[in-house]
Structure 1
Amino acid sequence: MSFIRGYHPDTLREIVDVRECRERLEEIGNQRSLPALLERVWLLKVTGELDDALVVSDQSVRTARMAGTRKDLLRARILHATINQERGQLAAAEQELTACAEEAEGQGWAGIAAFAYQHRGKVRLDDQDLDGGRADFKRALFLRQQAGATEEELESTLLAIDAVDRRRVASVVAG
């Protein structure tokens, strides 16, 4: 079940029904499986509970290191980076996402690499690096196409490219 109802046209943040997300958090409770931890991190992030999200995210990275696969660890690290982004720690988020994208591409895991580039593009957008953000979104689009991504995943990347282009036009008009 997807809780995402859309994406904010400028910030590219997920638009969710907070009530549904909180209900799902209650259902998950304190389950300690890696999938449950990762879902809790994301739900806490989108409901704005960033301190709790960071604690659970740290736990998910440790769990993935001890009991998960390399892919699991990359997913946990990417999600952890998005928490840093939400907390305004853009340099730390970009550094982590860069490392994850490079490792995933080196392993030939296009879907995970695309996920990392998509989020690094959002970090760069937050940091007003429009060229870097656009390049990351274009790379994510290419990798998602290569990996046979869903229409929804491709659409979110196309929306991100469009958001960068709108910002570029707005900055030219304002400048």
Structure 2
Amino acid sequence: MSYIQGYDPDTLREIVDPRQCSERLEEIGEQRSLPALLERVWLLKVLGRPEDALSISDQSVRVARMAGTRKDLLRARILHATVLQALRAYAAAEQELTACADEAEGQGWSAIAAFAYQHRGKVHYDEGDYDSARRDFKSALFLRQESGVPDDQLESTLLAIDAADRRRVVGAVAGSVAS
């Protein structure tokens, strides 16, 4: 079941039903499996509780490192980076996402690399670097098309590209007016 109802066209954040997410968080409880930990991290993040998500995210990375596959570890690290982004630790999030994208591409894991680029683009977007955001979103789009992801993932990437383009145009117009 997808809890994402769409994406805010200005912030690029997931639009979710908070009640539904809170209920799911209660259902999961204190389960310690990697999938449960990752889901708890994501739910806490989208519910606006990144501080709570951070310690569970740290735990999910440790569990993935000890008992998961390399793909599991990359997914946990990418999610951890999104929590850092939510906490406005942009440099740390960008560094982690770059490392994850590089490793995923090196292994030929296009879908995971696309996920990392998409989120690194969101970090750049939050920082106001719309050119870099657009480059990352375009990389994510190319990799997602290559790996045959569902249309909703392509749509979220296209929405992100449009948002970065709009911000770039607004920035260019504001810059020329100020001159």
TM-score (norm 2): 0.96
Q: Deviations for 1:34-55, whole angstroms, at most 9, x for unmatched residues?
A: 0000000000000011111001
**Deviation at residue 128 of structure 1 after TM alignment:** 1.1
Gaps of 5+ in 2: none
Matches within 5 A, 1:45-64: 45-64=45-64
Counterpart of 2:108 in structure 1 is 108
Instruction: State the number of aligned residues.
Output: 175
**Deviation at residue 115 of structure 1 after TM alignment:** 0.1
Residue aligned with 1:32, SS: coil
Query: Could you tell me the percent identity over the aligned residues?
Result: 75
**Deviation at residue 171 of structure 1 after TM alignment:** 1.3
Counterpart of 2:43 in structure 1 is 43
> Is 1:28 the counterpart of 2:20 in the alignment?
no
Counterpart of 2:131 in structure 1 is 131
Q: Deviating runs (4+, > 6 A) in structure 1?
A: none
Matches within 5 A, 1:70-149: 70-149=70-149
In structure 2, how many angstroms separate the alpha carbons of the residues matched to 1:171 and 1:132?
14
The answer to whether the Cα contact below 8 Å between 2:82 and 2:93 also exists between their aligned partners in 1 is: yes
In structure 1, how many angstroms separate the alpha carbons of the residues matched to 2:125 and 2:160?
9
Residue aligned with 1:149, SS: coil
In structure 2, how many angstroms separate the alpha carbons of the residues matched to 1:109 and 1:145?
13
**Deviation at residue 120 of structure 1 after TM alignment:** 0.1
